[in-house]
């Protein structure tokens, strides 16, 4: 795949930023632009692609019904979609947790989730999920070239020269893309990972 045809919401022209009731065309453009990044985002919580796709589906259905009900247009749709997707994911995890507890009561699972240690553990895991989701969103928010550069560097472990040759850009442009990408990602990370300055 050539780096320029990577799909992303940001560089797809005509993806609406505001949406109002009844505008099915805009709604469909919105869905096609965001279903993929949102599914990746939700996946970081639920760890199942099938569930992630279903939850994103629900996000859009709720959005449509909400518009019909309120008739208030939604501004900054992207922020709305990510927030809604996060709630769907957390809600799904909560229900899963309740189901697990029911199974414990029914004697089907030899586990207990009610000790303080387990609760603390569950909370820490949730923090880790939130972080992974924030990183996923931050990576999806990067311009395609920057995303491609971090992929070639962190996964392919290419040298700067090799990345430049692969993308057909100058070596110093590679360094610039990398700097911008890491600057953007650094802002999503918890304080202990940031530069002290």
Residues that bind another protein (CB under 8 A): 1, 6-7, 28, 31-32, 35-36, 39-40, 43-44, 49-50, 52-54, 56-58, 60-62, 64-66, 69, 124-125, 127-129, 131-132, 134-136, 138-140, 147-148, 150-151, 153-159, 162-163, 165-166, 178, 182, 185-186, 189-190, 192-196
CB of 72 to another protein, least distance (A): 15
Helix (H, G, I), strand (E, B), or coil: what is residue 19? strand
User: Cβ neighbours of residue 43 under 8 Å, at least 6 residues apart?
Assistant: 49, 52, 136
Exposure on the CB side of residue 23, measured as CA atoms within 13 A: 18
For 137, the token pair is 């969103």
CB of 107 to another protein, least distance (A): 27
Q: In this complex, which beta carbon is closest to another protein, that of residue 35 or of residue 104?
A: 35
CB of 148 to another protein, least distance (A): 7
Going 2 to 50 to 34 to 40, the CA torsion angle's sign is negative
CB of 171 to another protein, least distance (A): 13
| 177 secondary structure, DSSP code | H
User: Are the C-beta atoms of residues 150 and 181 closer than 8 Å to each other?
Assistant: yes
């Amino acid at each position: 795949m050539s780096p320029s045809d990577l799909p992303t919401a940001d560089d797809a022209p005509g993806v609406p930023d505001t949406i109002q009731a009844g505008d099915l065309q805009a709604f469909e453009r919105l869905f096609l632009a965001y279903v993929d990044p949102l599914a990746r985002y939700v996946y970081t919580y639920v760890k199942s692609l099938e569930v992630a796709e279903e939850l994103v589906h629900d996000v859009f259905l709720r959005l449509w019904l909400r518009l019909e009900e309120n008739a208030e247009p939604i501004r900054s749709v992207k922020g709305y979609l990510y927030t809604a997707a996060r709630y769907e994911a957390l809600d799904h995890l909560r229900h899963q947790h309740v189901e697990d507890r029911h199974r414990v009561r029914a004697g089907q699972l030899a586990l207990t989730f009610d000790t303080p240690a387990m609760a603390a553990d569950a909370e820490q895991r949730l923090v880790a999920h939130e972080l992974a989701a924030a990183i996923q969103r931050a990576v999806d928010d990067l311009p395609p070239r920057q995303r491609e550069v971090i992929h070639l560097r962190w996964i392919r472990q290419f040298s700067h020269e090799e990345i430049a040759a692969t993308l057909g850009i100058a070596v110093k442009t590679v360094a610039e893309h990398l700097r911008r990408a890491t600057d953007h990602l650094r802002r999503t990370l918890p304080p202990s990972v940031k530069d002290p300055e």
